[in-house]
């Protein structure tokens, strides 16, 4: 389970350099437990496998700049962790995130994780945990925000990770995910 937040947060690196072609039509993608409707093609699609990435997509503005990135992993865990454990799991991923940025010649200056909150998404009990990252990229400090949502149900556990340039974009991405995902 420790690989999940590290991978999700690592996709921020992809987010920083993501460029996908704009598609005007909605795209429906079928997964084992749900369908996902997006306005851009998935940039990654994997198979449902414990702890492995399942999908990634971004919203692209003019100039092919990704405004937010959404990705997911699945786990066979049948029971949700506590909100405190979820927050700690996200905080514990900081070392791996620092290493990933360093490998790309960038520096993670700060990594601030809020306490997880209990929420309801799609009629399921969920945990939501936000984080703020300050990254030094080419001598420029860039602030990124991230939201991690854990949903556990009959399907096991899905962790959705959303990265964006601002809180408004983070909320927009969350709404797009909630609106676009339909459980089977």
CA–CA gap between residue 171 and residue 126 (Å, rounded): 16
pLDDT at position 160 over 70: yes
For the chain, how far is it from start to end, CA to CA, in angstroms? 24
Domain CATH number, residue 177: 2.60.120.1690
**Where do we find the tokens 């700049």?**
65
3-class DSSP state of 19: coil
Structural domain including 159 reads 3-183
Instruction: Say how many residues make up the chain.
Output: 184
Over residues 106-140, the pLDDT tens digits come to 999 999 999 999 999 999 999 999 999 999 988 89
pLDDT at position 164 over 90: yes
Domains of the chain: total: 1
Interstrand relation of 44-45 and 53-61 (parallel, antiparallel or unpaired): antiparallel
Q: Residue 66: what pLDDT?
A: 83
Structural contact between residues 55 and 44, judged by C-beta atoms closer than 8 angstroms: yes
Q: What is the pTM of this model?
A: 0.84
Q: Residue 4: what pLDDT?
A: 54
More confident residue, 22 or 108: 108
Q: How many CB atoms lie within 10 A of CB 132?
A: 14
């Amino acid at each position: 389970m420790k690989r999940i937040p590290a991978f999700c947060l690592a996709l921020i690196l992809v987010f920083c350099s993501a460029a996908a072609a704009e598609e005007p039509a909605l795209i429906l993608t079928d997964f084992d437990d749900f369908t996902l409707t997006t306005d851009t093609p998935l940039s990654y699609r994997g198979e449902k496998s414990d702890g492995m990435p399942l999908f990634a997509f971004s919203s692209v503005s003019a100039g092919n700049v990704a405004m937010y990135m959404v990705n997911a992993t699945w786990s066979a865990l049948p029971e949700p962790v506590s909100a405190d454990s979820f927050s700690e799991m996200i905080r514990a991923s900081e070392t791996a995130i620092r290493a990933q940025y360093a490998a790309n010649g960038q520096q993670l200056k700060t990594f601030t994780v809020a306490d997880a909150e209990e929420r309801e998404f799609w009629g399921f009990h969920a945990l939501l945990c936000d984080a703020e990252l300050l990254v030094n990229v080419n001598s420029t400090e860039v602030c990124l925000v991230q939201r991690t949502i854990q949903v556990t149900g009959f399907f096991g556990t899905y962790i959705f990770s959303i990265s964006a340039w601002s809180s408004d974009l983070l909320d927009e991405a969350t709404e797009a995910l909630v609106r676009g995902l339909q459980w089977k």
